[in-house]
Amino acid sequence: MSGGVGALIAMFLAGAGVFALQGRGGEVRDNKVLDEILEVHVRDGWVSYRALKTERNRLDAYVTSLANASLDPASREQQISFWLNAYNALVLQTVVDHYPIAQHTKEYPPHSIRQIPGAFERLPHRIAGKSVTLDQIEQTFLAAFHDPRVFLALGRGAAGSGRLRSEAYAAGALERQLSEVASECVSRAQCFQLDQVQNRLVISSIFSWRRNDFIDAYAGAAPGEFKERSPIELAVIAFTSPRLLASERQALSKNTFKVEYLPFDWSLNDLSSRGSR
């Protein structure tokens, strides 16, 4: 972690503490509201944005509760859960704010969250008394935990992202949830494909975007027979191998495959359009 990033995190945490989300009266709030929103409006990672927009009051109230929350010292798991839930709720709100999304550029699919100018890098959000963007949450606060599974847990409002869960993240369940996120990646064609016919390992662009995070966490755990591979290839092998079928691991062990990145699918993960895909 660079000195600048470390200083920014230290400044944020010094001003806001670390987690236990509380309301104005000091009562500790849980994520029951977000849980219910996700349970009702998310199916297999796809979101009923139209329905969510018509009853957005609860989502807005949840996001508002993050704005001036006081954050008490908390465990690593509580911190990670807080940032994941904040990010995912803010993405939902950003989409709903502009839904149906008008097309501004041909660079991205129609109705994509990327059609919203500055959705990730410029639009400010108030979290615990600080103004942050979605990119800052991902690249500064979540990156500081050195667990790259979190980048697959982010609901980026896109078909190519990790599957948005129908439940909020919770400290007591976080390890199970992140383990499921990792396994789910290996089981989805948008994240991982082992093409034994063409001898290719095709992986999500997220591994490329966050290559240093995956390398730091996993490259050293790759089996020795792959030692001539690049650091990111070693990381992907170590990350995916425990979650593969025996036949897939055997195919990988031949060590003749080529690694390719999937173009990221920025199509909106909208239930109303899923049938036409």
Residue pair 206/152 in contact (Cβ under 8 Å)? The answer is: yes
Distance of CA 268 to the CA centre of its chain: 15
> pLDDT at position 13, please?
42
> Would you state the pLDDT for residue 275?
55
Q: How far is CA 197 from the centre of its chain?
A: 31
CB 265 within 8 A of CB 190: yes
Instruction: Specify whether the CB–CB gap between 137 and 203 falls below 8 A.
Output: no
Q: Regarding beta strands 130-132 and 125-127, do their DSSP bridges make them parallel or antiparallel, or are they unpaired? A: antiparallel
Q: CA-CA distance, 29 to 21, in Å (whole number)? A: 6
How much is the pLDDT for 90? 98
pLDDT score for 17: 34
pTM, whole model, 2 decimals? 0.90
Contact between residue 184 and residue 204 where contact means Cβ atoms under 8 Å apart: no
CB 174 within 8 A of CB 233: no
pLDDT tens string 10-38: 444 433 333 344 444 333 346 899 999 99
- Residue-wise pLDDT tens for the chain (277 aa)? 444 444 444 444 433 333 344 444 333 346 899 999 999 999 999 999 999 999 999 999 999 999 887 667 778 998 899 999 999 999 999 999 999 999 999 999 999 999 999 999 999 999 978 999 999 999 999 999 999 999 999 999 999 999 999 999 999 999 999 999 999 999 999 999 999 999 999 999 999 999 999 999 999 999 999 999 999 999 999 999 999 999 999 999 999 999 999 999 999 999 988 755 4
List Cβ neighbours of 55 (8 Å cut-off, separation of 6 or more): none
* pLDDT value for 26: 33
Beta carbons of 174 and 47 less than 8 angstroms apart: no
Q: Return the pLDDT at 2.
A: 45
Give dist(CA 273, CA 134) in Å, integer: 25
* Run of H or E including 203: strand 200-204
- Please name every residue paired with 46 in a beta bridge, in sequence order, or none if there are none: 43
CA angle 267, 100, 276 (to 5 degrees): 45
Nearest residue to 45 via CA among 209, 268, 275:
268
Q: Residue 119 carries which DSSP code?
A: T
Q: d(Cα 228, Cα 233) in Å, to the nearest integer?
A: 10
CA 17: distance to chain centroid? Answer: 23
Q: Which amino acid is at 13?
A: L
